[in-house]
Structure 1
Amino acid sequence: MTAQLTEPALAWRADPYAEALRSGRGPLYLCRSDGWLLPLDVERWCAAPDAADVTVLDRCRGRVLDIGCGPGRLVSALAVRGHRALGVDITPEAVARTVRAGGSALCRSVFDPLPCEGHWDTVLLIDGNVGIGGDPSVLLRRAARLASPHGSLLVEVATTEVDERVEVHVDDGRGGRGAPFRWARLGSGALRATAATAGWSRSHTWRAAERSFVSLHR
């Protein structure tokens, strides 16, 4: 049974985010209480995988779980490549788009019970999804329980060295906004430090198309 939706889950179901996914375009932002804005790249999320995404796809092995899959560009591309791939997202419109694109997805939180726990060969946290829940150590421990004993975790991190836990809301820049929720942003150094206490012992970093990634291993 799916757990009752938390406030962060409800925030991502807010009209600005769902509407952006329906239309396939922004503008859309994460807005901090001090007015700082983080642009969300809705158009890229809703397009085919780009060159940086391909570097992630090439590193996927076996069964793949995409946490916070959004509109499903990676899940659908993995299916074409012959992987058993599943996306998980709390936004119904994201799940619907993933299915329409040919992928498989569940409308569920990563902290809900999920299929094949402990048996996913590759787990993905792309597009800043290491911020889910606002506490990366909790999320990374959950990912370790989802992965197989020899599994890997591919994480997209901030391009600068940052380590912050903040309260944000989704904002469309035109007056539409969602409820506040906790989020986190990590650079590669902060991620590796956090991962070391969460069941991940080895790491490799790479950059592609001005995006930064870390591969972690059990």
Structure 2
Amino acid sequence: MSTTLPPSPIDAEAPAGAPDPHAAAPDRAGRPDRTTGPGSARTAPWGADPYARALRAGRGPLFLRRNDGWLLPLDVERWCSRADAADLSALHRCEGPVLDVGCGPGRLVAELASLGHRALGIDVSEAAVARTRRLGAAALLRSVFDPLPDEGRWGTLLLVDGNIGIGGDPAALLDRAAGLLAADGLLIAETAPLDVDERVRVRLDDGRGAPAGTLAPACAQEAAAEPFPWARIGAPALLRYARARGWRTAAQWSAEGRTFVSLRRPRRPVRERRARISSHSAESANSEAVSSSQLPR
């Protein structure tokens, strides 16, 4: 059973396909662009062709391409299908309300709703959010680094389909996840099947360019062509980062050739520990200043 929370902004979503007027435009790392206001053009690569084109078609080919020509295939057909056995192996472990980071076309959010969870998907792609909403699921056009509803109250946070690579900095993503989860909340991450820990800059590539007789908007062509940071990380490396930040391993498993790790939120997230240290330092300095001011001259 899901945890009941008071009503929040996700309980009154915009109509299907409607743009979110309050979402900040994300940058190429998936972080919000603080220099642009609501309604500005979104130029994150995941919001441009060829990704949007692939989601609308429901199929690839689609790749992440490194500058040296190395290609990582993206399984668009699976993303646009219903949740499979491997997905369900993760979803059945979810607890309470669930935040699906990088929800894509929404198969997991829709399945979670059918399982009785209150679930929200977030994605920086307008095409992904529109498709998720067409499934009747809740979704917002946001980066994980944007302000989000119910921060610090989510029961489970999902990072599947390679989304542990968002921003190219798994440690920063773990810190952000800790701030979003409730005490003892659960992070479920899909990892690379190999023992790998690499940071790369990649481009989205469908190997075909724009369809014959059409021209993608200039901003979309530029966004799809510009490299952005990404990470590939296997379970051993993720567990090293997690342990160093106070996360506790809950489980590890494989299903249908995919590998997963679930982690319990640190009892005190890194940013809270840093805040306490800073506060303690400030209090000490103030105390010393007061004591000095009271000394006889």
What TM-score results when the alignment is normalised by the length of structure 2? 0.71
Contact 2:23 2:141 in 1 (8 A): no
**Bigger radius of gyration:** 2
Residue equivalent to 2:142: 108
Separation in structure 2 between the aligned mates of residue 199 and residue 67 of structure 1, nearest angstrom? 21
Residue equivalent to 1:209: 256
C-alpha RMSD over aligned residues: 1.2
Separation in structure 1 between the aligned mates of residue 225 and residue 154 of structure 2, nearest angstrom? 32
Contact 1:68 1:88 in 2 (8 A): yes
Separation in structure 1 between the aligned mates of residue 51 and residue 25 of structure 2, nearest angstrom? 20
SS in 2 for 1:38: strand
Residue equivalent to 2:233: 186
Residue equivalent to 2:107: 73
The answer to whether the aligner puts 1:33 opposite 2:34 as a matched pair is no
State the one-letter code of the partner of 1:166: V
Separation in structure 2 between the aligned mates of residue 148 and residue 199 of structure 1, nearest angstrom? 15
Separation in structure 2 between the aligned mates of residue 76 and residue 5 of structure 1, nearest angstrom? 24
The answer to whether the aligner puts 1:64 opposite 2:98 as a matched pair is yes
Q: CA deviation at 1:201?
A: 2.2
Structure 1: unaligned runs, 5 residues or longer: none
Structure 2: unaligned runs, 5 residues or longer: 1-21, 31-43, 211-223, 266-297
Residue equivalent to 1:16: 50
Contact 1:203 1:217 in 2 (8 A): yes
Deviations, residues 139-162 of structure 1 (Å, cap 9, x unaligned): 110001000111000000000100
What TM-score results when the alignment is normalised by the length of structure 1? 0.97
State the one-letter code of the partner of 2:234: G
Which of 193, 198, 209 pairs up with 1:175? Answer: 209
Separation in structure 2 between the aligned mates of residue 199 and residue 118 of structure 1, nearest angstrom? 16
Deviations, residues 77-132 of structure 1 (Å, cap 9, x unaligned): 00111110000000001001111112100000000000000000000000000000
Greater fraction strand: 1
Separation in structure 1 between the aligned mates of residue 248 and residue 86 of structure 2, nearest angstrom? 24
SS in 2 for 1:54: helix
Deviations, residues 13-43 of structure 1 (Å, cap 9, x unaligned): 1210000000000000000111000000000
The answer to whether the aligner puts 1:120 opposite 2:154 as a matched pair is yes
Residue equivalent to 2:292: none
Deviations, residues 128-186 of structure 1 (Å, cap 9, x unaligned): 00000010000110001000111000000000100000000100011355321000000
Contact 2:29 2:168 in 1 (8 A): no
Separation in structure 2 between the aligned mates of residue 116 and residue 187 of structure 1, nearest angstrom? 29
Q: CA deviation at 1:197?
A: 2.7
Q: CA deviation at 1:61?
A: 1.0
Contact 1:14 1:178 in 2 (8 A): no
SS in 2 for 1:151: strand
SS in 2 for 1:144: helix
Which of 8, 11, 26 pairs up with 1:5? Answer: 26
